[in-house]
Chain A
Amino acid sequence: MEVIARGAEAVVYADGDVVVKHRPPKRYRAPELDEHLRATRTRREARLLALAKRAGVPAPVVLDVDPEEKKLCMSRVRGEKLSRLVGGMEVPELREVFATAGVLAGRLHAKGIIHGDLTTANMLLSGGRVYFIDFGLGEVSTSHEAMGTDLLVFRKCVRSTHFQQEEVILDAFFSGYRSTFAGAERAIEKMHTIERRGRYFEDRG
Chain B
Amino acid sequence: MSGEFLCLGIEGTAEKLGVGIVSAEGEILANLVRQMKVAEGIHPSEAAQHHATHLPALVRAGLERAGVEMRELSLIAFSRGPGLGPCLRVAAVAARALALKHKLPLLGVNHCVAHIEIGRLTTGAEDPLTVYVSGGNTQVTAFAQGRYRVLGETIDIALGNCIDQFARELELGMPGGPVVERLARRGRYLPLPYVVKGMDLSYSGLLTAAVRLAERERVEDVCFSLQETAFAMLVEVAERALVQAEKEEVLIAGGVGVNARLQQMLAGMCSEHGVRLHVPPGEVLGDNGAMIAWLGVLSYLSGERQRLEDTHVRQRWRTDEVAVRWR
A contact residues vs B (CB 8 Å cutoff)? 7-9, 26-30, 32-33, 36-37, 83, 116-119, 121, 137, 149, 152-154, 156-157, 159-161, 163-164, 194, 197-202
B266 proximity list for chain A (CB < 8 A): 28
- Is the Cβ of B240 less than 8 Å from the Cβ of A8? yes
CB distance from A117 to the nearest CB of B (A): 5
19 A-B contacts, Cβ less than 8 Å apart?
Answer: A8-B236, A8-B240, A8-B243, A26-B272, A27-B272, A29-B228, A29-B265, A36-B191, A153-B198, A153-B199, A154-B198, A157-B199, A159-B320, A160-B320, A163-B147, A197-B155, A197-B156, A200-B316, A200-B317
A9 to B82, CA, bound (A): 32
- Is the Cβ of A194 less than 8 Å from the Cβ of B198? no
- Give 5 new A-B contacts, CB below 8 A, not counting A33-B191, A152-B197: A29-B231, A156-B150, A156-B200, A161-B144, A161-B244
Could you tell me the dominant secondary structure of chain A's interface residues? loop
CB distance from A7 to the nearest CB of B (A): 7
Chain B, Cβ-Cβ closest to A117 = B198
Could you tell me the dominant secondary structure of chain B's interface residues? mixed
CB distance from A115 to the nearest CB of B (A): 9
Kindly name the residue among B153, B155, B232 whose own CB sees the greatest number of chain A CB atoms within 10 A: B155
In the complex, chain B residues 203-228 whose Cβ is within 8 Å of any chain A Cβ: 228
- Is the Cβ of B150 less than 8 Å from the Cβ of A160? yes
Q: How many residues of B contact A (CB 8 A)?
A: 47
- Is the Cβ of B155 less than 8 Å from the Cβ of A202? no
Chain A, Cβ-Cβ closest to B244 = A121
In the complex, chain B residues 166-193 whose Cβ is within 8 Å of any chain A Cβ: 189, 191
Chain A, Cβ-Cβ closest to B238 = A8
Known contacts A160-B150, A197-B156; decide if A28 and B268 are in contact (CB<8 Å). Answer: yes
Q: Given A32, A118, A163, A202, which contacts B198 in the complex, CB threshold below 8 Å?
A: A118
A83 to B244, CA, bound (A): 10
B contact residues vs A (CB 8 Å cutoff)? 82, 136-137, 144-145, 147, 149-151, 153-156, 158, 189, 191, 194, 196-200, 228-229, 231-232, 235-236, 239-240, 242-244, 264-266, 268-269, 272, 314-321
Chain A, Cβ-Cβ closest to B319 = A200
B320 proximity list for chain A (CB < 8 A): 159-160
CB distance from A43 to the nearest CB of B (A): 15
Chain A, Cβ-Cβ closest to B151 = A160
